Amino acid sequence: MQFRDLKKQYQVLKQDMDAALTDTAASAAFIMGKPVKELEAELAAYVGVKHCVSCANGTDALTLALKTWGIGKGDAVFVPDFTFFSSAEVVSLEGATPVFVDVDKDTFNLDAADLEEKIGETVAKGELTPKVIITVDLFGLPADYPRIRKIADTYRLLILEDGAQGFGGEISGKKACGFGDISTTSFFPAKPLGCYGDGGAVFTDNDEWAALLDSYRVHGKGQFKYDNVRIGMNSRLDTLQAAVLKIKLKAFREYEVADINRAAARYTEKLQGKVKTPVVPEGYYSSWAQYTIRLDSKEQRDALQAVLKEQGIPTMVYYPTPMHDQTAYKNLKVPVGSCPVAEQLCHTVLSLPIHPYISEEDIDSVCEGILTFIAKK
């Protein structure tokens, strides 16, 4: 059994995919070829925002946003304590300081109450200027934007939506990657919408920021490529990846998101009441980058993972370490116990195999493995 079956997906899309790959090779327009602009237009339309600027990966997408806003030394950026390292790494790379915020135990996303507390503490200390909230749509579920937007307005902060895992999610019909003042996503192969290597994109409704993003991604270009008006990056999306994504986006919107939601519903139906199943709040829609259950303790989680592994069932621990506990962030000296939920989740979460092509038989055998383990407890 595969954790995320990308080979199966290729087999389904093979005919169109092979044609797209060879067409790109034959065109020799490897950098900024026609499919790049076409994909950007399709992605912007899908999300429902004015501008999409593609780039080399999801980490660069976040960096491009921070550069566009001029975030740097002395600035505080609020980041969930339970996420992939990138979400905070980009902040430090720009010379700003990440302030870690606890998450909600049910949705795994930024806890709005703790966010307000951490903003208050930062203001009271007076060492850093609060500037940005990086929200993460973890495991495919949009963050609590109704509450976070109110807090951002109150404290005059910008929202940078890290939608690397969230592409395809929704709140009341509004699509993820449209909730931030700037939003980003990643096309790393295992993300909800993945390419055949690295890729990313930035979304915004703001014309001025879109122009800056476009400049920063190509060496801070001005009027033309050899007119350089600011220090930028080399962060373009390959034509080949854009061609791949155009085909994958079609499958994604036509059936993949619906199919993965059917798979998640089947898991929940079978596991509910036996282990803690993921919570999707009323009006929310997830694109299920992960299907993540919670166990009672680290011992139980680790034992279950070992038992499933023996049965040939791959599972993953996303994430084993809270951000504030990462070796790279020891220098921040975050007080012990400042993000208790994130710590608890790192000990108890387990992500199960899920993808749009998973069979009902596979889901059932994963569930059987879990239910047998729980019954023996």
Q: Interface with ligand PLP includes 290 (CB under 6 A)?
A: no
Collect all residues with Cβ–Cβ distance below 8 Å to 202 and sequence separation of at least 6.
Answer: 52, 53, 54, 55, 61, 64, 65, 182, 183, 184, 213
Rounded alpha-carbon distances, angstroms, from residue 177 to 1, 155, 194, 268, 361? 31, 22, 15, 26, 33
Question: Minimum CB separation from ligand PLP for residue 164, in Å?
Answer: 3
Which residue's Cβ lies closest to ligand PLP? 58
Stretch that binds ligand PLP, among 36-44, 82-90, 105-113, 290-298 (CB under 6 A): 82-90
Rounded alpha-carbon distances, angstroms, from residue 251 to 16, 52, 233, 279? 11, 20, 32, 26
Residue from the set 63, 97, 186, 351 that interacts with ligand PLP by CB under 6 A:
186
Collect all residues with Cβ–Cβ distance below 8 Å to 102 and sequence separation of at least 6.
Answer: 80, 81, 111, 114, 338, 339, 340, 341, 342
Q: Interface with ligand PLP includes 84 (CB under 6 A)?
A: yes
Give whichever of 249 and 304 is closer to ligand PLP, judged by the CB atom. Answer: 249
Question: Minimum CB separation from ligand PLP for residue 165, in Å?
Answer: 5
Give whichever of 86 and 183 is closer to ligand PLP, judged by the CB atom. Answer: 86
Residue list 45-74, contact with ligand PLP (CB under 6 A): 57-59
- Report, in angstroms and rounded to the nearest whole number, the Rg of the chain calculated over CA atoms: 21
Contact between 236 and 31 (Cβ < 8 Å): yes
Residue from the set 39, 47, 101, 136 that interacts with ligand PLP by CB under 6 A:
136
Residue from the set 9, 24, 87, 215 that interacts with ligand PLP by CB under 6 A:
87
**Helix-strand-coil percent breakdown of the chain, rounded to 5?**
45, 15, 35
**Token pair 């009323």 is at which residue?**
282
Q: Interface with ligand PLP includes 179 (CB under 6 A)?
A: no
Give whichever of 86 and 344 is closer to ligand PLP, judged by the CB atom. Answer: 86
Stretch that binds ligand PLP, among 81-89, 124-132, 258-266, 296-304 (CB under 6 A): 81-89
Residue from the set 52, 76, 119, 164 that interacts with ligand PLP by CB under 6 A:
164
Give whichever of 329 and 373 is closer to ligand PLP, judged by the CB atom. Answer: 329
- The C-alpha atoms of residue 61 and residue 138 are separated, in whole angstroms, by 17
Q: Spell out a b/e string for 222-233, using b for 16 or more CB atoms within 10 Å of the CB, else e.
A: eeeeeeeeeebb
* Residues forming the site for ligand PLP (CB under 6 A): 57-59, 83-84, 86-87, 136, 162, 164-165, 186, 188, 198, 200
